[in-house]
Amino acid sequence: MNLESLNSQQYQAVCHSEGPMMVVAGAGSGKTRVITYRIAHLIRERSVNPESVLAITFTNKAAGEMKERIRSMLDLSGTSPWVSTFHSFCLRMLRKHILELGFSNDFAVFDSQDQLILVKQCMKTAQVSTDAFPPKSILNHISGFKNDFVTPEQIDLDTMSYGNQMKAAELYPAYQAALKSNNALDFDDLLFFTAKLFQEVPSLREYYDKKFQHILVDEFQDTNAVQYELVRLLSRDTNNICVVGDDDQSIYRWRGANIENILKFEKDYPGTTVIKLEENYRSTQSILDAASSVVKENQNRNEKTLWTQNEKGNPVICFKAEDETREAEFVCDRIINLSEEAGYSFNEIAILYRTNAQSRVIEDVLRRAEIPYQVIGGLRFYERKEIKDVLAYMRVLLNPDDSISLKRIINVPARGIGKTSLEKVEIYCKEKGISLLEGLRRAGQEKFVTPAASGRMLNFISMLDHLDIVFRQSNPLELLTEVIEKSGYATMLNKEDTRESKGRMENLNELYSAVEQLVENEDGSLRDFLDSTALVADLDNLNDERGVLPLMTLHSCKGLEFSAVFLVGMENGLLPHASSMSNPAEYEEERRLCYVWFTRAKKRLFVSHARRRRVYGNTFNYLPSDFLNSIPDEVMEREVGVQDYQTGTSPQFSHSSNTSFLVKTESTTEFAIGTKVLHPKFGSGIVINRAGEEEDLKLEIFFKGPHGKKKLVAKLANLITL
């Protein structure tokens, strides 16, 4: 362990003696190094018992890497510091002490599927409709209660409006009782009950407070209320608590993370030593300046200025594309250039996007260019469940003998056609030598299933018959619309009302755009389209010595770094996301996402945005992200590839630092998401959603002050664009 290799701030953090300390560690500033060096310093130089050191991080991978680093620096014989995730630590505590709370210590830990089954049972007992209140949404809200460290008894139903959250609050006691009757905990309970254990059993808290003389918490900006309480309880007496984090990288608000935990730490721990790690070892100064210029506009943050001894580097390239296809082609061309001329391997380059749905058009372009890629943190577009489900409907219409696709969709969405009934149909079909579809038609007549099951099967067949008529009389685009609506798939996802279901709906919207492109091609047919999706897997297995290009969402890239990074979709409505534009706290988190995104790049950073995008069959105009306006001209070079619509000329590429990114709207069809408007009564606002076109165009606008969200008819609203 060479302390001389540390900079002055890192050295101060490593050698800090007693009392609370907060290390505000900017992106790429070596925070993991500081934590491991501090643990090693405590043990080797200050003779602290290894078992009295507790280090907590958020992922098993991070915990494993930290353990290996510590082992490489110390010669530990038998004893070692506690290094684990929050959940692992809590599970260990509860296995020993949960008897104090009336549970058996051989409790089971229920996974998400177990939880879903259990909450459905609770809903059935309480006679709560799973159609009206989707179980996944109920579980999501119950998880939120636990993350906020709120017991069922503490919930005030009078403060809630009717909906999924209120119903979850009503079901919360029954769900917890059902867990206990099963001698089981869910993942949120591991944290919740450990904190409760230390609250209700003071002697136990005092024992572990005394045992852990030094506590270190990594990624502190990502802690929720119950995690904060756990740390507080364990450090109440010794007060030797070291938290490391960066409020500018707090991007998990949707998962319960509370940025206030790091912002209020000094208040809750008087006498805290604050050390800022501002020297960045990863990126060029141009990239750091661009990132800092965006996030510094947030109000709730610790002030810091990232700097580096690295070169200033190339300016950030900002490309304005005509549409999402041109954007993807620009990205692909630059990747090929970086590979062939600069010698970058594909695995040194990353493409990042705000939503999973954006990967579709990028994947299409990469496949055509034969660039091997991998979607990180998710499935490739045509492998996603909702895409395969909807395409399965279309495959059955094209080939009624396709029993595999038919079995995939027969109960998706749920129709009450049970496994036993379906097995009876399959036996009958085998005996008669007929297709599964024909067997479903005959089920009622032949009476080999119950009348109720037969009725459900006939309803399913009737729906398929309707879709078959659409298939024969309409184009694939109209067919897809009918499949999504008549199957009940859209209704199912909208009712779930979870982050996952909204993402799945976005993917279906993107599938719509893919089929729309098919329709625009005169030679394209539904069969051609389905064939092309089936071939994707074979084309994707290209073996290339240059590595595999990673594609991922913003939230998946945390903690990673690449020589070159491409950020696509830098538009109001995507980044910042439309759902955040009416909520100041969520809007600030979008800035932090942008900051995290930028700081993944070491040498080259490319951002791009499209003038228009296809969304569910409609083409919308988008404004460039407001975040781009924060970046100084001296660190960003703008390239334009947008068609001149007045002359009808082809796109002309130019390089200019003075390019205007403001889209003027001259008709109601041009109110893009993110457009700033002025209303004669409500004042200034921003378009956050739109529906319809031309005379029927309706806008959802968030106005400042007391007015909030308003839904207006565009042609009647007398709006002025700003």
List the beta strands (DSSP E) in 208-355.
214-217, 241-245, 273-277, 316-323, 349-353
Out of 32, 273, 285, 517, the active site residue is: 32
Out of 186, 189, 209, 219, the active site residue is: 219
Distance (Å, whole) CA 562 – CA 546: 14
Out of 221, 223, 249, 665, the active site residue is: 249
Burial of residue 564 (CB within 10 Å: 0-12, 13-18, 19+) is buried
Distance (Å, whole) CA 689 – CA 673: 6
| DSSP secondary structure code for residue 202 in this structure | H
Distance (Å, whole) CA 629 – CA 632: 8
The answer to whether 250 and 259 have CB atoms below 8 angstroms apart is: yes
| Residue 249 is among the residues annotated as catalytic for this protein | yes
Distance (Å, whole) CA 11 – CA 610: 46
The answer to whether 336 and 307 have CB atoms below 8 angstroms apart is: no
Closest Cα partner for 332 from 608, 45, 686, 70?
608
Which amino acid belongs to residue 216? L
| Residue 619 is among the residues annotated as catalytic for this protein | no
Out of 31, 304, 504, 614, the active site residue is: 31
| Residue 600 is among the residues annotated as catalytic for this protein | yes
Closest Cα partner for 352 from 563, 500, 550?
550
Out of 189, 209, 218, 516, the active site residue is: 218
Distance (Å, whole) CA 370 – CA 633: 35
Residue 286: count other Cβ atoms within 10 Å of its Cβ.
Answer: 25
| DSSP secondary structure code for residue 635 in this structure | G
Closest Cα partner for 172 from 183, 161, 188?
188
The answer to whether 463 and 471 have CB atoms below 8 angstroms apart is: no
Out of 600, 602, 611, 638, the active site residue is: 600
Distance (Å, whole) CA 45 – CA 40: 8
Which H or E element spans position 176?
A: helix 164-181
DSSP 3-state percent helix, strand, coil across the chain (nearest 5): 50, 20, 30
Which amino acid belongs to residue 438? E
Residue 443: count other Cβ atoms within 10 Å of its Cβ.
Answer: 25
Tokens representing residue 93 in the block: 């505590």
Distance (Å, whole) CA 470 – CA 495: 26
β-strand partners of 217: 56, 243
| Residue 389 is among the residues annotated as catalytic for this protein | no
The answer to whether 679 and 694 have CB atoms below 8 angstroms apart is: no
Closest Cα partner for 177 from 85, 65, 102?
102
| Residue 218 is among the residues annotated as catalytic for this protein | yes
The answer to whether 335 and 565 have CB atoms below 8 angstroms apart is: no
Closest Cα partner for 350 from 541, 521, 599, 90?
599
List the beta strands (DSSP E) in 184-290.
184-186, 214-217, 241-245, 273-277
β-strand partners of 690: 699
- Which residues are marked as active site? 31-32, 218-219, 249, 600
